[in-house]
Amino acid sequence: MTGPQIDEVTASNPFSDSGTPLLEFAGVSRVFGSVTAVKDVSFQIAPGQIVALVGESGSGKTTLARLAMRLLLPTSGEIRLEGEPVGKHSQRAYWRTVQAAFQDPSASFNQFYTVRRLLRTSLGVLDQKLSRDELETRMAEALTQVGIPPAMLDKRPHELSGGQRQRVMIARALMLRPRLLVADEPTSMLDASLRVSLLNLLRDLRDQQGLSILLITHDLGQAYYVSDRLLVMYRGELVEQGETEAVVAERRHPYTQQLLADVPKLH
């Protein structure tokens, strides 16, 4: 367990300015029939910040991710991207800034497409046309970033392991060079050691490229390792939020206490 000390990121982050948050939820609720899946949620994500959202299954984490991706619109409240209400952006324009990797990679793959075709299709979101060479370079770069050899471009989903599929989905998002990555349980299919490499990748993207990340997970250990800020969700509401270290140290809300008590200890 050795390695270089890492500075407190929020303090020395060269990418965060005091200006507008990249993404802001202001009193957002989302109702499905009689169920309020997300209730009066407010938080902000600054440029170059990793914000982790934790909570148990069914607490509304994925609904919140879908709202952040503009796949759902809020029933009430407002979501703003760089100060502009999301409705002002066209979906394509929004997706140039915000990209996502969702938890079940098999649901995101067309099983008859090769990795190359899958990646190339996504590039349609961009407004400029890339040349063939540029295309290939971008795809290869993105795959290399997540630790997948570019030779895998010609593979089909069934030839990849669960962990590889999950990493391809992240490469797909990164290839579009978004400013915000919404990652919903991106490590659910990965073993502990691969999980660490992926989280390290997220840390590097933040530190080197100023990428903002909304990481959704039920694993407090992961959230604690990578995030600058922590949001704790319980039954659709954010019951606690703040600097990660402070939330974990102070654990004010009973649900946060419960969540921390349930995390198995290694030693």
Write out the residues near other proteins by the rule CB under 8 A. Answer: 1-6, 56-58, 161-163, 191-197, 199-200, 203, 218-225, 244-245, 248, 258-260, 262-267
Q: How far is CA 143 from CA 172, 204, 229, in A?
A: 8, 15, 28
* Residue closer to other proteins (CB basis): 212 or 227: 227
Round the CA-based radius of gyration of the chain to a whole number and report it. Answer: 18
What is the closest distance, in whole angstroms, from the C-beta atom of residue 153 to other proteins in the complex?
19
* Residue closer to other proteins (CB basis): 15 or 224: 224
* Residue closer to other proteins (CB basis): 26 or 194: 194
* Residue closer to other proteins (CB basis): 82 or 245: 245
What is the closest distance, in whole angstroms, from the C-beta atom of residue 204 to other proteins in the complex?
10
Stated length of the chain: 267
What is the closest distance, in whole angstroms, from the C-beta atom of residue 8 to other proteins in the complex?
9
Strands of 72-125 (E only): list them. 76-81, 84-85, 98-101
What is the closest distance, in whole angstroms, from the C-beta atom of residue 161 to other proteins in the complex?
7
Q: How far is CA 221 from CA 55, 163, 192, 247, in A?
A: 12, 19, 11, 13
d(CA 147, CA 164): 9
* Residue closer to other proteins (CB basis): 40 or 56: 56
What is the closest distance, in whole angstroms, from the C-beta atom of residue 223 to other proteins in the complex?
8
d(CA 198, CA 192): 10
